[in-house]
């Protein structure tokens, strides 16, 4: 089994662990608040444990940076040439709301850039995946198919965050002559652009490196551009784990 197939399997196993909890009474989610006031559930922890154990078994020499174990100093991380960057449950707010718009994100980082990524949406039964120079793919019950961005848009289809509205997004939309706004949770926003369902994903507001890495490589391999404000070098080899604003776009610049 090649490494990409192995990561797809790990992400889907983590997704099943999440679903096992998702299908319970919400009172059993064991919701607590982390230091940054974001929610943490039993599902986050179950997926984190499964992924870390599986990645450690698969690639024992590669370090892992997970949202649920992110207290690794820059003094250590700055020496990492290759590592796994993981969000065990991206879209915890969507999980709590029970709208199905949450994902498992696993990315392989080399020299600060994503070279492999898997985004699995367990409720939607969709797995998006990509590897550098190998294209982007969508796996469903019907099988796997190549996905590509759409580069024709009379009306710009903008995808935005369901749980993190932004005044800056409203200002961006006001500059467009015509647009359609689609709100969705988690890293699915990257995937909608990659799949050709949306044209632009402008992000004005906080995200962390583990929120974006897997979707980043999927969008790139599908033909989109991904630009982070003020970052010209490697996005994922920085002391600051908080991302600046960024833009994912399928539209050709005129």
How many angstroms separate the first and last alpha carbons of the chain? 43
CA 94 to chain CA mean position, Å: 14
pLDDT at position 3 is 96
pLDDT at position 34 is 76
Dihedrals phi, psi of 228, to nearest 5 degrees: -100, 135
Cα-based torsion angle of the residue sequence 195, 196, 200, 202 in order, rounded to the nearest 10 degrees: -10
| Distance from C-alpha of 113 to C-alpha of 214, rounded to nearest angstrom | 10
pLDDT at position 228 is 97
pLDDT at position 217 is 98
pLDDT at position 164 is 67
| Distance from C-alpha of 226 to C-alpha of 204, rounded to nearest angstrom | 14
Taken in order 68, 71, 59, 53, the sign of the CA dihedral is negative
| Distance from C-alpha of 114 to C-alpha of 190, rounded to nearest angstrom | 14
Q: What is the mean pLDDT of each run of 10 residues along the chain (254 residues)?
A: 92 97 80 75 94 98 97 97 98 92 98 98 98 97 96 85 78 91 94 96 95 98 97 94 97 64
Strand partners, 227: 247
pLDDT at position 254 is 46
User: DSSP character for 103?
Assistant: E
Alpha-carbon distance values, 189 to 34, 38, 90, 199, 249 (Å)? 24, 20, 12, 10, 11
Dihedrals phi, psi of 204, to nearest 5 degrees: -115, 95
| Distance from C-alpha of 252 to C-alpha of 47, rounded to nearest angstrom | 38
| Distance from C-alpha of 107 to C-alpha of 102, rounded to nearest angstrom | 16
Taken in order 243, 38, 193, 181, the sign of the CA dihedral is negative
| Residue 83: Cβ-neighbour burial (10 angstroms; 0-12, 13-18, 19+) | buried
Residue for token digits 């009306």?
155
What is the number of H-type helices and E-type strands within the chain?
7, 14
């Amino acid at each position: 089994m090649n490494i990409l197939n192995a990561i797809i399997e790990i992400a889907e196993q983590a997704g099943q662990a999440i679903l096992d909890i998702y299908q319970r009474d919400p009172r059993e989610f064991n919701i607590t608040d982390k230091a940054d006031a974001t929610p943490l559930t039993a599902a986050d922890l179950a997926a984190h444990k499964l992924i870390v154990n599986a990645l450690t078994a698969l690639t024992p020499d590669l370090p892992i940076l997970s949202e649920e174990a992110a207290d690794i100093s820059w003094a250590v991380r700055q020496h990492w040439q290759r590592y796994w960057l993981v969000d065990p449950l991206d879209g915890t707010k969507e999980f709590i709301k029970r709208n199905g718009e949450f994902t498992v994100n696993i990315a392989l980082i080399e020299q600060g850039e994503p070279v492999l990524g898997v985004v699995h949406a367990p409720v939607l039964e969709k797995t998006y995946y990509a590897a550098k120079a190998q294209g982007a793919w969508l796996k469903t019950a019907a099988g796997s198919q190549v996905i590509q961005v759409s580069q024709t848009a009379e009306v710009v289809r903008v995808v935005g965050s369901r749980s993190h509205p932004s005044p800056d997004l409203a200002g961006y939309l006001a500059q467009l002559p015509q647009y359609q706004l689609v709100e969705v949770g988690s890293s699915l926003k990257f995937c909608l652009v990659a799949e050709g369902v949306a044209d632009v994903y402008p992000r004005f507001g906080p995200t962390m490196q583990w929120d974006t890495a897997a979707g980043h490589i999927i969008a790139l391999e599908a033909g989109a551009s991904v630009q982070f404000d003020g970052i010209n070098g490697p996005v994922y080899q920085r002391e600051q784990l908080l991302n600046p604003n960024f833009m994912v776009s399928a539209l050709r610049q005129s």
